[in-house]
Amino acid sequence: MAYKRVLTIQDISCVGQCSLTVALPIISACGVETAILPSAVLSTHTGGFKGFTFRDLTDDIPAIAAHWRSEGIKFDAIYTGYLGSTKQIDFVADILETMGNETCVRVIDPAMADNGKLYVGFDDAYVAAMRKLCTKADVLLPNITEACFLTGEEFKTEYDRAYIDALLEKLVAMGVKTVVLTGVSYRKDKTGVVVYDHGVYHYYEHRKIAKGCHGTGDVYASAFFGALMLGKSLNDSARIAADYTVECIENTQGDPTHWYGVKFETALASLMNMIHE
């Protein structure tokens, strides 16, 4: 397996175990050279902390990309996460088009919504910009809420296979090549991930942990991306990332002081074992 250089673009929440503070260590642990492009720097993430600081780095992005181009830097894959504005999305779209090598894999996590609602600060204009960006994805990693906003489908908490199929087909109709849809639950005590690749549907089901945790979407996407970069199939990457994320949540249960994220570091050895088995 060739040694790969990849780029991930998302914010840095200095405390909170999400975004780049999750993506960089997880992908690097997989043995992949990981370059970063921070979209913003926050003292903490925004889920439950008060009075956090925020430094917008939007205006730095074009200069960073221009310097890379002048140095002839290219990437084998690019993975995008939380982006803070429509202006950032425009800059990232340009990077996706110009900074990858000939075989670059583009993975987009449209991190903008959950539980039927957009994140604070996002609106219809942001959704429209994200929808356009997602058409550039080789692999799209939405949750059900994000898939609904992207497609205009009604968000439902109870659904059947036909509802999920409609979401997948509409995402593909946008121009997305492959969809990995997370948080798909057909049974109350189970949840799972759907991989929809060129019309082929594969569902991996696993135990559902009732209490949610901040940052698990970033943990999942980073582990999926790392496994994919090491040559694992789409289905195996989805399974490995799901099992790893569940273990991270389990390792955090029972610690009321650790409400702001999951102890992903404690399960990195398991991730390595799953990737190299």
User: What average pLDDT does the segment 14-41 reach?
Assistant: 96
Q: Compute CA distances 37 → 1, 169, 228, whole Å.
A: 25, 32, 20
Burial class (CB in 10 A: 0-12, 13-18, 19+), 126: buried
pLDDT confidence of residue 48? 87
Task: Give residue-wise pLDDT tens across range 96-122.
Answer: 999 999 999 999 999 999 999 999 889
Element (H, E) at 257: none
Task: Give residue-wise pLDDT tens across range 169-191.
Answer: 999 999 998 999 999 999 988 99
Helix axes 234-252, 268-276, angle to 10 degrees: 160
pLDDT confidence of residue 2? 84
- Lowest mean pLDDT across 24-28, 42-46, 143-147, 231-235: 42-46
Alpha carbon distance 204, 241 (integer Å): 11
Percent of the chain at pLDDT > 70 equals 99
pLDDT at 1 over 80: no
User: What average pLDDT does the segment 146-169 reach?
Assistant: 96
Task: Give residue-wise pLDDT tens across range 197-217.
Answer: 999 999 999 988 866 788 999
pLDDT at 87 over 90: yes
Percent of the chain at pLDDT > 90 equals 91
pLDDT confidence of residue 208? 85
Q: Compute CA distances 115 → 156, 183, 184, whole Å.
A: 9, 10, 12
- Report the DSSP beta bridge partners of residue 8: 36, 79
- Say whether 42 sits in a helix, a strand or coil: strand
pLDDT confidence of residue 84? 87
- CATH number given to 5-258: 3.40.1190.20
Task: Give residue-wise pLDDT tens across range 232-277.
Answer: 999 999 999 999 999 999 999 989 999 999 999 999 999 999 998 8
Task: Give residue-wise pLDDT tens across range 33-70.
Answer: 999 999 999 999 988 899 999 999 999 999 999 999 99
- Report the DSSP beta bridge partners of residue 107: 79, 139
- Say whether 3 sits in a helix, a strand or coil: coil
**Nearest of 241, 215, 253 to residue 15 by alpha carbon:** 215
